[in-house]
Amino acid sequence: MRTPIYLDYNATTPVDDRVLDAMLPFFREHFGNASSEHSFGWTADEAVKQARERTAKLIGATPRTLFFTSGATESVSLAIRGAGDIYGGRRHRIVTVQTEHRAVLATCEAMEREGYETTYLPVGTDGLVDLDALEAALNEETFLVSVMWANNETGVVQPIPEIAERAHRAGALMMTDATQAAGKLPISVNHDGVDLLALSAHKLYGPKGVGALYVRQRGPRVRLAPQVTGGGQEEGLRGGTLNVPGIVGLGMAAQIARRAQADDAERLEALRDRFEAAVCAAVPGTAVNGAGAPRLPNTTSLRFEGARAAQLLPVLHDVAASAGSACHAHTDEPSHVLTAMGLTPEQARATVRFSLGRPTTEAEVDVAAEHVAESVHLVRRRAAA
């Protein structure tokens, strides 16, 4: 078995061999610019078209509703800022949630400095949005509701169709950051009532630096103002030469994810439950954050009484896991997600996120569970000494 055992697939995933194989020709023989009017350009454009179809299909959308970006952070920013520029005149309020990814929170905070208002909804101890609080927050000033589909730290899955229904009743658009959900859960933008959806290739065995934004085109047609202007690419919504190899990679990753989703989910959930059970049995004083809510099949957020993640992770060198999210890896700030769920800062600091992926094996989770147990015991002994 290769060590360290990688259990940080929510941070990023390796590129699937089939994805890489699909991408490589677009760095070399098919290097054309998708905007060029000659055979090199047409080949690239054809490949982008196919990738758009494949990516759209992953979320039950049509190709013309899908726009390529540099990743979920940009998709989120384009959706929220782009909607603000169009709809934010009369309505200037965004309703979002305290446990959102920084991509959403930082965008909202920046927009507040420009005069927008944001309501950050609380969550229960299970991490779920309180639908009554949502209803109370919605009014005729709200142009956008932004709620992530699944949380990157805890895996908690929000009831998106119910939230969308309430958003629409108030006349607001429904936006969701589906970065962690895409490929892990079945998604159908029409069935689920989503108007804007952000996703990223590197969370689903595609390359880094490429993502997509779904923008509803019918019932209603959602309009966004471009945030990167340029050569009119992506219907003028996002300027800049298309990242053809990356887009091809996203398309292939999306196709594989769509076909594998149900099997992956079943297998990973069983492995995740096995891992959780093994750790909880071997380490008294372990709690599963978000255990009471629907969760992503691959994610577990474990809290070890009396053992700080910052001390645990260096000891746990044979397992690659994360304290909170990858973007908070270098701070000692307790996770805003966990404190919003009612954990004390100390409890939040005692939490480690383990996220499994397609390559994860039963042997890996068994060995990882043993390492985790040994490491927690060691950290606790040191703390007591």
Ligand X SMILES: Cc1ncc(COP(=O)(O)O)c(C=O)c1O
Q: HEC string of 235-281? A: HHCECCCCCHHHHHHHHHHHHHHHHHHHHHHHHHHHHHHHHHHHHHH
* Separation of first and last alpha carbons in the chain: 34
Give which of 199, 185, 127 is closest to 353, Cα–Cα. 127
Q: Which is closer to ligand X, CB of 158 or CB of 179? A: 179
Per CB under 6 A, 73 contacts ligand X: yes
Tokens of 345: 């800062």
Q: Which DSSP symbol is given to 286?
A: E
Q: Pick the binder of ligand X from 52, 81, 93, 101 (CB under 6 A).
A: 101
- Rg of the Cα atoms in the chain: 21
Which range of residues in 65-73, 216-224, 226-234, 314-322 is near ligand X by CB under 6 A? 65-73
The one catalytic residue in 106, 282, 288, 327 is 327
Per CB under 6 A, 181 contacts ligand X: no
Per CB under 6 A, 355 contacts ligand X: no
Q: Which is closer to ligand X, CB of 198 or CB of 379? A: 198
Per CB under 6 A, 69 contacts ligand X: no
How far is residue 385's CA from residue 374's CA, in Å, rounded to a whole number?
Answer: 16
Give me the half-sphere count of Cα atoms (radius 13 Å) on the Cβ side of residue 201.
31
Closest distance of CB 211 from ligand X, Å: 5
Q: Which is closer to ligand X, CB of 198 or CB of 350? A: 198
Per CB under 6 A, 95 contacts ligand X: no
Cβ contact 125:292 at 8 Å: yes
Which range of residues in 71-79, 228-236, 329-337, 361-369 is near ligand X by CB under 6 A? 71-79
Closest distance of CB 19 from ligand X, Å: 15
Q: Which is closer to ligand X, CB of 197 or CB of 244? A: 197
How far is residue 288's CA from residue 149's CA, in Å, rounded to a whole number?
Answer: 20
Per CB under 6 A, 79 contacts ligand X: no
Could you write out the DSSP letters of every residue in 54-80? HHHHHTT--GGGEEEESSHHHHHHHHH
Per CB under 6 A, 148 contacts ligand X: yes
Tokens of 136: 């109370």
Q: Pick the binder of ligand X from 44, 103, 257, 271 (CB under 6 A).
A: 103
Q: Which is closer to ligand X, CB of 158 or CB of 286? A: 158
Binding string, residues 183-202; x marks residues near ligand X by CB under 6 A? -----------------x--
Per CB under 6 A, 322 contacts ligand X: no
Q: Pick the binder of ligand X from 99, 180, 299, 311 (CB under 6 A).
A: 180
- Is residue 280 part of the annotated active site? The answer reads no
Neighbours of 310 (CB within 10 A): 14
Q: In the bound complex, which residue of the shown chain has the CB atom lying closest to ligand X?
A: 71
Tokens of 123: 């969550």
Site for ligand X in 233-262 (CB under 6 A): none
Closest distance of CB 35 from ligand X, Å: 24
Per CB under 6 A, 107 contacts ligand X: no
For the four alpha carbons of 325, 327, 329 and 331, in that order, the dihedral sign comes to negative
Which range of residues in 69-77, 182-190, 257-265, 278-286 is near ligand X by CB under 6 A? 69-77
Q: Pick the binder of ligand X from 211, 246, 290, 324 (CB under 6 A).
A: 211
Per CB under 6 A, 276 contacts ligand X: no
Q: Which DSSP symbol is given to 215?
A: E
Number of H helices, E strands in the chain: 12, 12
Task: Enumerate the H helices of the chain as residue ranges.
Answer: 17-23, 39-58, 72-87, 102-112, 131-137, 160-169, 189-192, 244-282, 309-315, 336-340, 345-349, 362-384
Q: Pick the binder of ligand X from 152, 286, 300, 311 (CB under 6 A).
A: 152
Per CB under 6 A, 99 contacts ligand X: no
Q: How far is CA 283 from the centre of its chain?
A: 29
Binding site for ligand X (CB under 6 A): 71-73, 101, 103, 148, 152, 177, 179-180, 200, 211
Active site residues per annotation: 327
